[in-house]
Structure formats: structure tokens, C-alpha cells
Structure 1
């Protein structure tokens, strides 16, 4: 009996890989840790994407859905994360071609080769992959496509890449990226002083939500801490951005800083955090300190390669992507709009048959676009089918779209109007997902989902 390809993760890119496998008639199993598709996307369901529906749907997934009679949403509307999950990912996962092969509550603990550890070479390429779940169950596979993303491994607040002094002790005061400030999480922020750490779009959107809350709830104040000497990079392309909804974020954030609604601390790398006697937290960079009630960590995410520790991976020492992909996505050289086309060849490791796709493939690089992840999935699946001509015919239309930092999307009308509906921008381009709110704590650059 031939073994299936195992896909780790039922997010947008994982399900895109499943759709391509289904189209090519390749047996597959999708292992999803959550209880339904798009579990990570649903965690930022209140956030609106920068780009409209027409850029959010993988080609193979769209074909399968259309054949089943799916009615595509208005292609010009910008969906929220919740709508992306409910109106696209859920119907996709429920298709007869996919549903029997998608397992929920299946968290992967490790990936290795059956009977072969990392040291052994003889017989390695012919040994099946062994994917072990948290339950202890072992699943055998002919190949593994890891689309598990980075959401569960956020960066720390400490400026040096390790936890700041006292960071573990004040964990109860720290919020993850993209809290629902104006909705479900409102009570934790209203009337309180909140510090947002990070310089990407995750931080920017949270700051705008908090500024809106400050106008509604007396006593609410906002502090923004960045390591850079200037916030210019965080403001991005503003009116020059090809995605108007994204450009509006930088413009409005700058206006709030200039008006004093948002207190900006530049050159502020967090070194220590300590609780106060009155139940607050003092945050210090070693020279200055401020005391707050809550902290939002929008310092980004990093890939967790420990589950593949027994595989032979060739990882770039800076980014944690494959060594071949690193120069193509290096934020010191590229924004998300200038990343060149790439596919299976750039994603390949010495471990034949194992591929990380989606945002995990980029390691710590902040230049990921969902459209790139879809093309990765298509290329890898074509290679697994033996169609190397298609696998290497990689094509991406990624026009330069200003500063592509952390990929967090909110329509400006949603920010100013307090709602989550609004018209699509006139010249929206490719999809950005808010799964990688990477701040300047990572690098001299600023980053979804898989």
C-alpha cells in the first residue's frame, strides 16, 4: 500500500497543498492541531485583510470549490480573518475530496524517518517518514509538507532575543499579538495604560485600536516602544503604498503620535520587567522606565524546527529558512513585493521529501505573502507528482507595495468607523495575512499564516 503525503496544518497554505494533492490524485492526510480548519486564522478573526477576496483564494482550491457549486464571495470585498475561515477555509475542508483526509485535534510532536535517526545514511531516502502525534500515535508518510506556521512560537519581549529580566514573572500582564481591543478583550484595556512593543503592522493596528478605545473610555492611555531611533519605517509607504488600506495605517498612526494620543518611546529595547506593589508592571530599557497595566507583545514570531530535529535540515543561520531561499527573502534586501519567484528547489532540504511551506518556510523573514505560500504549495506538490516542469515553472506577480512589514491588515474605514466593513481599495494587490506581526525587535526590517 502506498503511503500518503502528510500535510501539517489546515490553514490557508496547508489546505492549498491538500487541494493540489487532491487534483493530482495523490493520497494525503492533513493533521491539524485545532478543532477546525483555520484555527490560527480564527484567533485574529476580528482583523480585516489588506486585500480583497479575489487575491485570497488558491487556484486549485478555487477550482475544487467551484466544481462543488460554491458561491465565491464578492471579489472586491476585504474579508476579516473570521470570514476567510468561515466562508473559504471551512467549505474547502468540507469538500468530499478533502474532508475524509483532514484530522483535527492531531498535534504533531515530531517528524523523523522510520527506524533511522539523523546520523544514519544507509537506507535513509527509502525509509518512510514517521510523524508522531501528541497522543503517541505514529503516522507513516511518503513525504511531509509542513505548513504549521509560526503562531505558537512568538518572539520574546527582551531586546537581545532572549527573555528580558523578569519577563517570565510578569507573563500574566502580557497579551499576544492582535488582541481584540474593541471587542472581546475590551475590558482588559479600557481605562488602563497599555504598552505595545514592536514596529510592524501588528503593533500599528493594535495601537490604532487602542487610540480608538482611548477616545471612548476615559483613563485609557497608550505607549509604543520601538528599538529604532525613528518610527519612519513603521509608518511605511503611507499615500505611496499600492495597498491603500495598509498605507492608511501608517498615516493614521503617525497622526496619533503627533497628536500625543500615542506616546512613542524610540530607541527603547526592553531589558527588564518588574511587578509593582499596586499590581502594575515597570518596563525598563536600562536607562528609562515606564509603568503600565498591560503589555501587548507584537515583536513577531519564529519557526519551531524542533519537531524536525531528527531530519537533515539545511537552515540559514540568520533567518532559519532554507539556505537557498534566504537571499531571496532577506529583509535587508527585499520587501514582500520584491521577493522573486521560488518553489520546490529553494524549499528543498537534504532530507528528501520534507518541505516547510508558508510562513514557516520564511523563518524569521518578514517578507512573506500568502500568494507566495500558494505558489510554494503548487510547486512542491507538482514535484511530488513527478511533474518537474510544472514544479520549476514558478510564477509570481509581486509588484513593489511599499514597506511590507508585519502583514497585518485593517481597512482604514474599519479603524475610523469602529466597524469591520468597508469598501475595497481601488488598487489592492496581493494578500497579506496578520499572522506575523514582526516588530523591529527582529532585525532592521519589519512580517500568517500557513
Structure 2
């Protein structure tokens, strides 16, 4: 098979061979270990289907191949998937037969774009954007290969469609029976068709990247297979995937303007900042914390570490430290409940470092969101009711206070 990419013809077998050489021969300069050879061997042992590939490694080994992955990701990812399958099949042929598809996942891209920098010139290319997850749908099943039964009593054959590749966004019916060659009625056998997990998230610009006076922009991201549930609302993530377009509601009905919306078909999700519940305290961390707790000057040291570049404001810094640590909910004998969360209101003249103290607090809080008059999220401070363009269902989109809570 010949692949034509920007007027350059490439034989698919040659591309697969180049991916195989990279995955098998690449050696980490620091450790001297065959990095991906070991990972491929572990995939069968740990029942994994995805292989994470560092884009820097691929660029270092084969710069042209790395460039082709960015320019024609659909074809290159498919070739890389076949290369992974062939390498695993050498040692674990039985495991390969049980897996429908392997997924090469690329991380550490050469360039990260802002969401508002995504334009039509990037359609069909591999892109990377950073942002905050503001919405997450439930996991659903997406049909990738349908099993059809020919209803003709003289035939009754069962076959998968499409024969190669995956089903598109809409269910496609076969034009004819591949066994008898006749047209007619085809029955979809759902319980024997092939599905993958499917989920949609909405990623919004980081607050610090929003230009003054602008409303934050967002983009939908589609997660499939083992990427589902890899991020939650409030997480700061880097999304690497293929920029695609989908028709608006008017274009789907065949009326109105031919306007399409952007979305990213995710290849890899890198969670930069997880929520508080996912922070793991190691034994060494616990010993260090206990050692600090025995320090008679620990209170003063904590206060002094709050925005150390700002002179003075000792009482304000103490209040912020108490805010960050939080309190313990109490229930009085009469049943009255006193909450453990602490709120701080700073009031002062201009130029007294109120915003600087707030920004510092937002940076070190696990789910801190800095918001100002220029807007925090499209949902505002609390939440807003929106309608899904694809399913038509209504949903709540979290605002800054919900995400930061």
C-alpha cells in the first residue's frame, strides 16, 4: 500500500519497518536500556493494549518519521499499531490473536498550542493543548465493527462491516452481501458486534492564558478505549490528539451554513495536576511531616513561606495558611454543625498585594482556580445548564467555585 503525504509517496510496509526498528533498537542514553523493547514485552504480561511513546525519542531516532506523525497522524498511528502487533507476535502470538487493536500513544509533543490558537490549518494533524477539564460525560459504548446478518432466506450469511477500519460516527449499512453478492435487508446483531468505551470531556483554557476582557474558550475531546476516566473535572491536563471537525446541527439537517465545529480525537492524556484525593503520601513524606510537627517554630515557618516575596502582612499570611490547611467540622451538643472550611476576605487599598497573595494561594492549592472580573469559566462562578449538541441532552457545567472545591 502506498501512502501519499503532501505529494510524497511512502510504502506502508516501509513505514511499519521504520517504526519496528525504532521500537526495537532505540536505547535510552542515560540508562542504556532498550526502552521500548522492554515495554513491549511487558504489554503481554500485564494485558496492556497501549504503548506510550515519547515524541522526543522518536524525533531523536527518526526526525522524518516524527514529522510524518504530526502531519498525517491517522495513517502513521495505524502503521505504528501494526508494527507493535508484529513485534509482540514474535514472542506472544496467542496474546496478539486475542487483541483486536493496539494503540500507540504519543506524549511530550514538540509544540503545545493554546485552545484559541486552533485553526482550520491544523485539521487532520496531531496537536497538543493544555487546559482544565470542566465537564465529563458518562462512559458509553461506541460501535466500531458491526455484525450483520443477511435476511435473505437463501443466504442468511453473517459478516462484519466494515471489513477494514472502524465504523464512523454514524452507523453504516453494507451496500450488498459479500457472500452472495445480493442486496436486500441486513439485520444488525448488536450482542456480537464489536464495541469500545467512549467518553467526551470539555477542556477549557487555563485562567492565566485568557486575554483581558475575553471569555474563556473550550474544546470537546473524545476519549476512547483505555483513555476513558483518565481525567476528572478540575484536573489540569495536556491533550495530544488529532484535530477533527463535526457538523453543526444545521449542517447535519442539510440546511443552513456549512459550518463545522472543532473537536480533538485524543491519542494521549497527560494529567499535570490531580485532585487532592489522588495525592499519595509516601512513608518518607509522612516521616518528614511528623518531624516538622515537632519543631517549636513550625507555625512561624509556615507563615513565612506564604508568598515570601511579599514583605510584611504577617496576619494576612497567617489567615491564608489557616485557609489552606482547613479545619475540622464540629457538631455542638445542641446539634448545630460548624463547618471546617475557612473563608478569607481581603479588603484593602490598591497596591497592597491582595491579588498577588490570591494568585500565590491559587498556585499551591491542589484545585485552586484564580478568577477575576475577566471571567473564570463559561459557566461563571457556580454552574450553568447547557444542552449537548450531539445528544440533545441537558447537563450542568461546573463553574469556578465547583471546580475549585
TM-score range relative to shorter protein: under 0.3
Determine which structure has the larger strand proportion and give its number. Answer: 2
TM-score, normalised relative to structure 2: 0.24
Bigger Rg, structure 1 or 2: 2
TM-score, normalised relative to structure 1: 0.23
Greater relative contact order: 1 or 2 (C-alpha under 8 angstroms, separation 6 or more)?
A: 1
